[in-house]
């Protein structure tokens, strides 16, 4: 008697290492090249900036993309665009000729300019009795008077 051929089903075993997919992240870097930063003031945390405002931070020129307050340019790249490295020396002294001294009894509207503590200041919003340079954020420092 002959035996029936044995039926074998081949078994395939596969294995693959499990890997975690990594998502690339963007790293902001300063723009290449040098730019003239004369007339541009250093970034100040106590001031509000609007889209288009420019500041100097650690020798780099940045432009605000939107309204921002107390957000340093290098750490908040969603709010600032790096323009380039400032050419040295930087002349950021303001022309204070003909600008009146700040007075606590006067009401100021956005854009009004005053001198105080040897600096030129611009009102960011309506303000009265808020001293330029205080924590209210009502004034933007435009630089030391020339």
Q: Which of 32, 37, 30 is nearest to 87 (CA)?
A: 37
**47-99 pLDDT per residue, tens:** 788 899 999 999 999 999 999 988 999 999 999 999 999 988 777 788 899 99
pTM of the model: 0.56
Q: With cut-offs at 50, 70 and 90, classify the pLDDT of residue 14.
A: low
Residues forming CATH 2.10.10.20 domain(s) in the chain:
34-86
Question: Domain 34-86 belongs to what architecture?
Answer: Ribbon (2.10)
Cis peptide upstream of residue 89 (ω within 30 degrees of 0): yes
**37-55 pLDDT per residue, tens:** 888 888 988 778 889 999 9
Higher pLDDT, 5 or 60: 60
Strand runs (DSSP E) across the chain, as ranges? 34-35, 48-49, 54-57, 60-64, 68-69, 80-86, 107-108, 113-116, 119-123, 127-128, 139-144
């Amino acid at each position: 008697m002959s035996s029936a051929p044995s039926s074998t089903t081949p078994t395939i075993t596969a294995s693959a290492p499990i890997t975690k997919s990594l998502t690339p992240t963007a790293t902001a870097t300063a723009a290449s090249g040098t730019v003239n930063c004369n007339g541009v003031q250093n970034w100040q945390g106590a001031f509000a900036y609007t889209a288009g405002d420019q500041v100097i931070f650690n020798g780099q020129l940045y432009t605000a993309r939107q309204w921002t307050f107390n957000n340093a340019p290098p750490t908040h790249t969603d709010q600032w665009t790096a323009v380039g490295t400032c050419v040295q020396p930087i002349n950021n002294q303001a022309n204070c000729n003909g600008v009146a001294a700040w007075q606590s009894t006067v009401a100021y509207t956005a854009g009004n300019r005053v001198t105080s503590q040897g600096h030129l200041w611009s009102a960011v919003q309506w303000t009265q009795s808020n001293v330029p340079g205080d924590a209210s954020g009502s004034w933007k420092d435009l630089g030391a008077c020339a």
